[in-house]
Chain A
Amino acid sequence: MGTILTGIITATVFLILMGLVLAILLVLAEKKILNYGTCKISINDGNKELEVQGGASLLSLLAEKNIYIPSACGGRGSCAYCKLVVSEGGGQLSPVEEPYLTADEIKAGVRLSCQVKVRNDISIQIPEALFKIKKYRARVEHKKVLTHDILELRFKLLDPQTIDFKAGQYVQLTSETYKGRESVMRAYSISSVPSEKNYIELNVRLVPDGICTTWVFDHMKEGQEVTLSGPYGDFMLSDTSAPMICMAGGSGMAPIHSIVNHMAEMNIQRLCYYFFGAQQQRDLFYLEELRKLERDHEWFTFIPALSAEPESSGWTGFRGLVTEALAEHFDDLTGYEAYLCGSPGMVGACEKELKKFNVEEDKIYYDEFA
């Protein structure tokens, strides 16, 4: 018995020690060998120059210098949000990047900045809008239940205290570690209006086993501080006066909610039909608010469509899919602009339907999320 026990203990101690020694050696070696010294990042043909410590990814080095490139997957090369033009010094295209880039993009030097390791001086192009992106410390003002699986989060911005964004844009929320799950960044559209500069509101829908949404639902507390960055995205109200069709489902409500409220506030009187798809009445939210908006403003019409509402309920609104609701209200949408937000499946179906009704392809704007 004694010898078996000693055997087990020696074996365990040996394995732990071996792992430890090798890990320490590797960390030391990494510091020593993968030291590329100071590298220069030249942005937009020398308009801006950064000096960084080489050896890390372009994405993380830019973030270190407070330039935030959109990224939803946290640098694993799976979301392809962090595309940038690398004009010089990016090295060879990696097999991870290739599937995300079209032939034209490869020709133009587009890379995934999370996969580009800075080993030497490098020059890149960054769209001006990205310089406006900042990192915020914010306090959770409230966590309000909207439906059984959607929460409204309201944040007060602490540092910096104000944000300039366009209705329809999104921010990224950084989750904290809990129960061994890593910290991740996830994108959420802003549902509040741009005129409210000290606060932002988000609609977060629970994704079963989602790292960030589980954190938001189960671990985030009112009053705690969180990290946000933004604003990102080019989903926003166009500068025309064309009539609009908005279509959304679930937490896709957020950017459209922001857009229509912004229009009401700014007195932008564009004809606007808002189709919102849900399964049952319990999935509807902001209903009273949008109905009031509809009563107060001639140009706005709100059409909620329920696809799985029980026959016996008192629901007098439309029953069926959003695409069916659209078909019932219109046969021709020539000259309209469309704003879509929802799951890829829903956005795809809506886009197809809209094209049938003669909405031009480049007038269909969408914000897709998985």
Chain B
Amino acid sequence: MEAYQETNFFATLFIIFISAGLTNNILLARFLGMCSCLGVSKKVDTSVGLGAAVTFVTATTAALNYLVYYYILVPLGLEFLKLITFIVVIAAFTQFIEMVIERYSIKLYNSLGIFLPLITVNCAILGISLFMLNKPYGFWESFAYGLGGGFGWFLAIALIGGIREKINEKFLPEGLAGPGITLIIIGIMSLAFVGFSGMIKI
């Protein structure tokens, strides 16, 4: 904690970003956001597309939820409503993003297909918004934490997508194809990420 206070502002943000993304990876260390990860990680480009969308939504909703929590819920004494409020804010924001993607990048819209609504219920996004309240963060730190968490999810799904693309499922036992082998891959990868944990305390 002392080291944390001595470093300057931008370095702090950077450390929060790196630690949220790598040492406390939301997907590989906390196993959040699993359903959309299993669904969409078949190809690298859709993985990257969804990952980028999730990163964007996570970072923005972390900032939005920070403002909502400290400037609306706390003054009104309604902290206990944070869960439902965050869900609604995230859902509305995702709807908005869906509209924007549909209008301006029809290709991305089509490739995300029915998984777009999944962003709404992606627990990684809600998780980041809730976790950030446990830490003594200000606005920018929260934003960096959200960005880092989203980036971690992005990194994980892109890596998983890359591995799945290389796997020839023909050689797998029938029951293992699809989600089965993906879960095993995620398990092995998370072993590596558990190795990072505790390197940076935030």
B81 and A11: CB pair below 8 A?
A: yes
Instruction: List residues of A (1-40) whose CB comes within 8 Å of B's CBs.
Output: 7, 10-11, 14-15, 18-19, 22-23, 25-26, 29-30, 33-34
Expressed in whole angstroms, the minimum distance between the Cβ of A26 and any Cβ of chain B is 6
Q: For the complex, count residues of A whose C-beta is within 8 A of B.
A: 21
Contact bitstring B76-94, A, C-beta under 8 A = 1, else 0: 1110110011001100100
**CB nearest to A7 among chain B residues:** B77
A95 and B114: CB pair below 8 A?
yes
Partner of B102, one of A19, A34, A96: A34
Chain B residues near A14: list those with CB within 8 A: 72, 76, 78, 81
Name the A residues within 8 Å of B113 (CB-CB).
94-95
Residues B81 and A91 in contact, CB atoms below 8 Å apart? no
Known interface pairs A34-B99, A95-B113; A119-B106 also in contact (CB < 8 Å) = yes
* Contact yes or no, B89 A22, CB < 8 A: yes
Of the candidates A10, A34, A92, A94, the one whose C-beta lies within 8 Å of that of B77 is A10
A34 proximity list for chain B (CB < 8 A): 99, 102-103
> In angstroms, how far is the closest chain B Cβ from the Cβ of A78?
15
CB closest residue in chain A, given B96: A29
Residues of A within 8 A of B106 (CB): 91, 119
**B89: chain A residues within 8 A (beta carbon):** 22
B12 close to chain A: CB less than 8 A: no
- Answer yes or no: B100 CB below 8 A from chain A CBs: yes
Total residues of chain B contacting the partner, CB 8 A:
21
- Is B95 part of the contact surface with A, judged by Cβ < 8 Å? yes
Complexed CA–CA distance, A91 and B107 (Å): 9
Q: Cβ of B72: which chain A residues have Cβ within 8 Å of it?
A: 14
Query: How far in angstroms is the closest Cβ of chain B from A34?
Result: 6
Cα(A265)–Cα(B120), bound, Å: 61
Residue of B nearest to A6 (CB): B77
B197 on interface, CB distance cutoff 8 Å: no
Which chain B residues lie closer than 8 Å to A33 at the CB level? 99-100, 103
Measured CB to CB, the closest approach of chain A to B46, in angstroms, equals: 13
Instruction: Give the distance in Å from the alpha carbon of A10 to the alpha carbon of B72 in the complex.
Output: 12
Q: How far is the CB of B114 from chain A (nearest CB, A)?
A: 5
Which residue of chain B has its CB nearest to the CB of A3?
Answer: B77
A15 and B84 within 8 A (CB): yes
Q: B88: which of A19, A29, A95 is its contact (CB, 8 Å)?
A: A19
- Identify the closest chain A residue to B89 (Cβ): A22
A121: min CB distance to chain B, Å = 14
B110 interfacial by beta-carbon distance below 8 Å = yes
Q: Quick one: closest B residue to A93, CB to CB?
A: B110
Pair B92/A22 contact, Cβ less than 8 Å: yes
Min distance, Cβ A33 to any Cβ of chain B, angstroms: 5
- Tell me which residues from 59 to 96 in chain A have a Cβ below 8 Å from any Cβ of chain B: 91-92, 94-96
Instruction: Kindly report which residue of chain B lies nearest to residue A94, judged by CB atoms.
Output: B113
Q: Which of A234-261 contact B (CB under 8 A)?
A: none
Query: Which residue from B77, B88, B99 sits with its C-beta under 8 Å from A30?
Result: B99
A residues near B, CB below 8 A? 7, 10-11, 14-15, 18-19, 22-23, 25-26, 29-30, 33-34, 91-92, 94-96, 119
Known: A10-B76, A26-B95, A29-B96. 6 other contacts (CB 8 A): A11-B81, A18-B88, A25-B92, A25-B96, A34-B102, A94-B110
The contact sample of 18 A-B pairs, CB cut-off 8 A, is A7-B77, A10-B78, A11-B80, A14-B81, A15-B85, A18-B85, A22-B89, A22-B92, A23-B92, A25-B96, A26-B96, A29-B99, A30-B99, A34-B99, A91-B106, A94-B110, A96-B114, A119-B106
